[in-house]
Amino acid sequence: MADDTDGAHDGDVTYGAEAARRSYPGFGGRVGRTVAGSEPWWPPRPEPPAGAPNIVVVLVDDLGYADLGCYGSEVSTPNVDALAARGLQYTDFHSTPMCSPTRASLLTGLDPHAAGVGTVAHADPGFPGYAMELADDVVTLPETLRANGWATYMVGKWHLAKDSDQSDAGPRHSWPCQRGFDRFYGFLDGFTNLHHPHRLVEDNSPVEVDTYPEGYYLTDDLVDRAIAMVKAGKASAPDRPFFLYVAHGAVHAPLHARADDITAQAGRYDVGWDEVRERRYRRQLELGVLEPGTELAPRNSEPDNDVLPWADLPERERELYARYMEVFAAMVASVDRATGRLLDALAEMGELDDTIVVFTSDNGASREGEMVGTTGYMVHLTTGDDVDADHDRLDLIGGPQTSPHYPRGWAMAGNTPFRLYKINTHAGGHTVPFVISWPAGGLAAGERRRQYAHVADLSPTLLELAGVEPLTERHGVAAKPMTGRSMVPTLRDAQAPAQRTEAVYEMIGHRGFYRDGWEVVTLHRPWTRFDDAEWELYDLTTDRTELRNLAEAHPEKLAELAAAWEEAAWATQIFPLDEGTGLKYLLRPPRTDRVREPLTIWPGTPSLERWRSAQLIWLRSFAFDAPVTVAPGDLGTLVAHGDQSGGYALYVLEDLVPALAGNDGRGHMTVVRGAPLAAGEHVLGARFDAFERDRWRMSLVVDGEAVGSADVAMMYGMAPFEGITVGRDPRSPVWWERHVTHGSFPWTGRQGPVTYLPGPTAPGMPEDVIDVLRAMGASFE
């Protein structure tokens, strides 16, 4: 009988020597009939280059150029100052003029509009430069680093996802863990309450907090989490480098700080913003942050941007405004202390010397408190100034019962020596501190660099230092190449030329373009045409603070740079420009229409996300019903929407008294009470009837009948800031006194689902408002 063991077949099964030549698609080993007769193979995993450093980027929110000690501030920042002393301090570094765009540029190495995030991520108007999420064909720094073997961690503020995508329903494609981070702990929104954060997220899931512990403070929590992430990673894989992105919520409003930090600043700002600004300027010259001959810009006097002389203010206002700045300074000090704790932890682990550490800000100091500041940040821009109400809460400023923002005079001091503020394309809007340290990488210590650089340069710089190339595709799609320029030559050599010679800026209609020391810039007024007449021209080599407009003296240079801005704007997706009608914020994809339909929320549902909740009540009448079964002794919260910065809630109080409460965001409570309820089943609820453009008639409803009402200010914009919760009033409460006595004041009885019924828009708000605004704005095309 013939020996056929080398080639026998039985159906599709191959036996003998031929089996030794078989494998599976994509498998690099050899597969026999047994494990012993096979050769294993494991798909390779990314390995970082030999000697790869750790990378830490600390991004502070709304920190001005002059707000750190090493940049001239009177605020004590010993940890950041020490970081600068063992590294390099850039004196001509630029962000974008607003938070979300800077974050997009930092993480992608692109101009922000090219990355899809041309302004703050609270809109979705349907244009590529304003998608309000990172584009699919854009690669992030953590995506590249993770693909090359780094662990990637983030804590803090994200603000790179559409507000409509931040609910539990997502989608999550532009959340941190989908854009390159292994771990995330922080918040997706643009800001939060630092004492009682409104919605923390861990990785891809909201963290449902009922009541924060006494003394909780977000800045400390974020650094605790950052240190824990690094320690956990190093415990499991000691040789694996990490990238840590710490994006603080501070020092953005609401201005919140620990009581002891505020006390430490007492009296320091009684001298006022003019004197503080002058002192900072002199200190900048002494330190060498400013070159000799640099002039201090005069007090801001541009229309709608002006600041009053401190000496001309009434004593009552000076007292109030000084308190705001004491809290802001306390926030800066807390960020410095947190930075020190992080660096100390890295040093204790033996990781600090081989860690590239970057410390910077996302834009200039903010003018959002406008002329007089506020203790009610969420409602200030919609309900106006109330200095008397703010002064009445003087001792509460900085604590959990207020949501303050300082007046723009302090932002002017924060941006010393420059003009204007955050959102502006003048220097005060985007000239920010920048410190970088890497002892093991051979970077010099205690030196300054005066070369022009931009936040889009950071990703290519870090990748070059790390020894890796950026990814060229993402999910099979060719990626836009980074347009930022590596700063490495200037890191290595103080005399090296600036690697960036051009930069384009745009923010809500303000425009700017830099080329080789020259700059054109506009201070655009809404509802006016975009034309060449508004361009200003400056030679920054001799006029760093933009004091001498050379537009008439050098018309050819102005025309050259204006044309360059136009070309760059088309190349980076800046168009269409915001004409100031507000249309950009009203345009939404049709799929979002469903968020204004009736909604049922069951007891036990985690708090509904802020934006999703607001759509049920935004600029319209609305009502809700809350069926309950009450028994003697029952009490608690049936529905809560909002917090100490403004909101409303429905309660059953002692003796079964139903109550509907409204908080105006400035400490004033309006409470409508009904007669005690009989034991048994009831349908409680509320009606908010929009009887004026910005007023509601708030009615308590018991079993279908209105039993009392009061007129209150309508909330819109960012208020109510906490989303809707059924059966309790968690975190920052609508009613502070009930929080003090009862915590989240949970309902003790039985409760059915709450149904929200959005009603007609407010008077004066036509249903076709988008068409009306489009027609009005078309004349500026």
Residue type, position 271, single letter:
V
Helix (H, G, I), strand (E, B) or coil at 348: helix
For the beta sheet containing 536-539, the strands, ordered from the edge strand earlier in sequence to the opposite edge, are 502-507, 510-515, 518-521, 536-539
Whole-angstrom distance, CA of residue 668 vs CA of residue 390? 11
* Rounded Cα–Cα distance for residues 389 and 376 (Å): 10
205's enclosing H/E stretch is strand 205-207
> Running DSSP on this structure, what letter comes out for residue 405?
B
Q: What is the DSSP string of 510-539?
A: EEEEEETTEEEE--PPTTS---GGG-EEEE
Catalytic residue among 94, 113, 159, 380: 159
Is 252 annotated as catalytic?
A: no
Q: For 592, which DSSP code? A: G
Q: How many CB atoms lie within 10 A of CB 529?
A: 12
Q: How many helices (H) and strands (E) does the chain have?
A: 19, 31
> Which of 117, 145, 171 minimizes the C-alpha distance to 54?
145
Structure tokens at 369: 């408190």
Q: In angstroms, what CA-CA distances link 770 with 217, 588, 692?
A: 41, 10, 20
Beta strands in 636-679 (DSSP E): 636-643, 646-653, 657-663, 669-673
Cα–Cα distance for residue pair 98/590, rounded to 1 Å: 28
Alpha helices, H only, 196-351: 218-236, 259-263, 273-287, 315-348
Strands 636-643 and 754-761: unpaired
Selected catalytic residue, list 70, 99, 380, 426: 99
* CA distance from start to end of the chain: 93
Report DSSP letters for 704-757, one per residue. TEEEEEEEEE---TT-S-S-EEES---SS-SSHHHHHHHTT-B--SEE--EEEE
Task: Write the CB contacts of 115 (distance below 8 Å, at least 6 apart in sequence).
Answer: 104, 105, 108, 134, 135, 138
Q: Examine the residue annotation and report whether 159 is marked as an active-site residue of this protein.
A: yes
- Asked if 398 and 262 touch (Cβ cutoff 8 Å), the reply is yes
Catalytic residues: 99, 159
